[in-house]
């Protein structure tokens, strides 16, 4: 078999098991209504929770950023890719989440990998929820520390693993809002365990930043938590509507990350126009109570409307509202039936979620209207 034949066979095997992934091309800006293959679809897919990704004021701000700083940064941030908006954004983010210092990365994926590999080595131990995001999992795998993966939200299992650990440094890593379930980690319990066993706590707030807490300050603010042992990672491509990520925490820890996080050091700095745009996005988040209230109302509307269907709506108070269907075939059929009616809801299957829990991952945005949510409810009721 030649090399290309071998890959053809691998791809065919994926296709046979209905595991071949396909992208759907969008020909319009991010928003509730998107143009796909000449059709207008009502989409419940994006992580644009506050509807900022195509906000007109941010588009103008991005144009201004391009005029002021060009489109590329030209270098890694330690050489020549660190511009005024980068520094200003780090300072703004630290103040916004109420921690001493922040450091930006060009994506959340790279942030998690850089953070964990900079903090831990082979004589250390890391504790990770089994449903954590792939970027945390990959950071855990790369860092070389002893790995303890605990069952989803099982605080007793985590406590037992921490109690029997003799490693030099310990780190507990958890999503704050789990991306395929929409549920919240019990951050106060996680912090208490970290205090008891002298571990650091890394909170991945990709889905909480901008949405949860007063003024959208995130999951730590939602639970009113602060401690020098906490690091929080927030992404800027979800509720903030732009791109990138940051980590915030104690001054010394963040300085260490600046010195050692390889995914920060060895990468071309993200375009300054993005930091310039994100600064304005943070203002919109901070003053965005109306958007968050509207979003909460949509969540309540959807949950009320989907009661009594034969599928289970996950216990979630966040904009991520998964409807658990069960088999891959049923979930795919439902996704297809919705699409025929012009409704686009992503179907999530194993291995992304556990076998037998294929689901529609409905995600809501403040850009949705109540009548758009009603359209989805009506369609699901008919199909149910």
List residues binding ligand PLP (CB under 6 A): 107-109, 112, 133, 135, 175, 179, 204, 206-207, 235, 237, 245
Nearest to 206, CA basis, from 254, 134, 313: 134
CB of 375 to ligand PLP, least distance (A): 26
Which three-class secondary structure state does DSSP give residue 230? strand
Q: Which is nearer to ligand PLP, 171 or 338 (CB)?
A: 171
Instruction: Please say whether the beta carbons of 51 and 240 come within 8 A.
Output: no
Distance CA 33, CA 48 (A): 13
Which three-class secondary structure state does DSSP give residue 245? strand
Phi, psi of 128, deg, nearest 5:
-140, 130
Is 86 assigned a catalytic role? no
Is 207 assigned a catalytic role? yes
Nearest to 316, CA basis, from 362, 267, 281: 362
Catalytic residue among 86, 148, 170, 238: 238
Structure-token pair, residue 278: 């994100």
Catalytic residue among 133, 170, 207, 276: 207
Catalytic residue among 46, 179, 316, 363: 179
Instruction: Please give the residue whose beta carbon sits closest to ligand PLP in the complex.
Output: 108
CB of 105 to ligand PLP, least distance (A): 8
Q: Which is nearer to ligand PLP, 89 or 338 (CB)?
A: 89
Is 167 assigned a catalytic role? no
Q: Which is nearer to ligand PLP, 90 or 175 (CB)?
A: 175
CB of 111 to ligand PLP, least distance (A): 7
CB of 136 to ligand PLP, least distance (A): 7
Nearest to 150, CA basis, from 170, 120, 122, 169: 170
Nearest to 360, CA basis, from 373, 349, 372: 349
Structure-token pair, residue 177: 């809002």
CB of 109 to ligand PLP, least distance (A): 4
Instruction: Please say whether the beta carbons of 247 and 171 come within 8 A.
Output: no
Q: Which is nearer to ligand PLP, 249 or 379 (CB)?
A: 249
Q: Which is nearer to ligand PLP, 58 or 338 (CB)?
A: 58
| The pairing of beta strand 358-363 with beta strand 320-326 | antiparallel
Structure-token pair, residue 238: 């979800």
Please give the positions annotated as active site: 179, 207, 238
């Amino acid at each position: 078999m030649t090399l290309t034949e071998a890959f053809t066979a691998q791809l065919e095997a994926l296709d046979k098991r209905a595991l071949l992934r396909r992208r759907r091309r969008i020909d319009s800006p991010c928003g509730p209504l998107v143009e796909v293959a000449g059709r207008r679809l009502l989409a419940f897919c994006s992580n644009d929770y506050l509807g900022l990704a195509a906000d007109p004021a941010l588009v103008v701000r991005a144009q201004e950023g391009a005029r002021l700083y060009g489109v590329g940064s030209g270098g890694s941030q330690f050489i020549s890719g660190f511009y005024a908006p980068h520094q200003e954004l780090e300072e703004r983010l630290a103040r916004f989440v109420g921690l001493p210092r922040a450091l930006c990365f060009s994506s959340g994926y790279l942030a998690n990998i850089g953070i964990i590999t900079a903090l831990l080595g082979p004589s250390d131990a890391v504790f990770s929820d089994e449903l954590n995001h792939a970027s945390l999992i990959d950071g855990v795998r790369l860092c070389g520390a002893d790995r303890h993966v605990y069952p989803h939200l099982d605080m007793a299992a985590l406590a037992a693993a921490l109690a029997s650990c003799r490693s030099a440094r310990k780190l507990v890593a958890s999503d704050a809002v789990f991306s395929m379930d929409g549920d919240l980690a019990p951050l106060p319990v996680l912090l208490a365990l970290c205090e008891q066993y002298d571990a650091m706590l890394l909170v991945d707030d990709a889905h909480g930043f901008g949405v949860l807490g007063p003024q959208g300050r995130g999951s730590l603010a939602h639970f009113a938590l602060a401690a020098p042992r906490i690091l929080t990672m927030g992404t800027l491509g979800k509720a903030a509507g732009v791109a990138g990520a940051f980590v915030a925490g104690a001054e010394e820890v963040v300085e260490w990350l600046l010195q050692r996080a390889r995914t920060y050091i060895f990468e071309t700095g993200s375009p300054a126009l993005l930091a310039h745009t994100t600064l304005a996005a943070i203002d919109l988040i901070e003053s965005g109570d109306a958007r968050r209230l509207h979003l909460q109302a949509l969540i309540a509307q959807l949950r009320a409307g989907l009661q009594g269907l034969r599928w289970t709506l996950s216990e979630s108070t966040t904009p991520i509202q998964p409807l658990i269907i069960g088999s891959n075939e049923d979930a795919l059929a439902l996704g297809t039936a919705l699409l025929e009616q012009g409704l686009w809801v992503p179907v999530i299957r194993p291995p992304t979620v556990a076998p037998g829990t294929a689901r529609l991952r409905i995600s809501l945005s403040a850009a949705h209207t109540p009548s758009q949510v009603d359209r989805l409810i009506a369609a699901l009721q008919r199909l149910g």
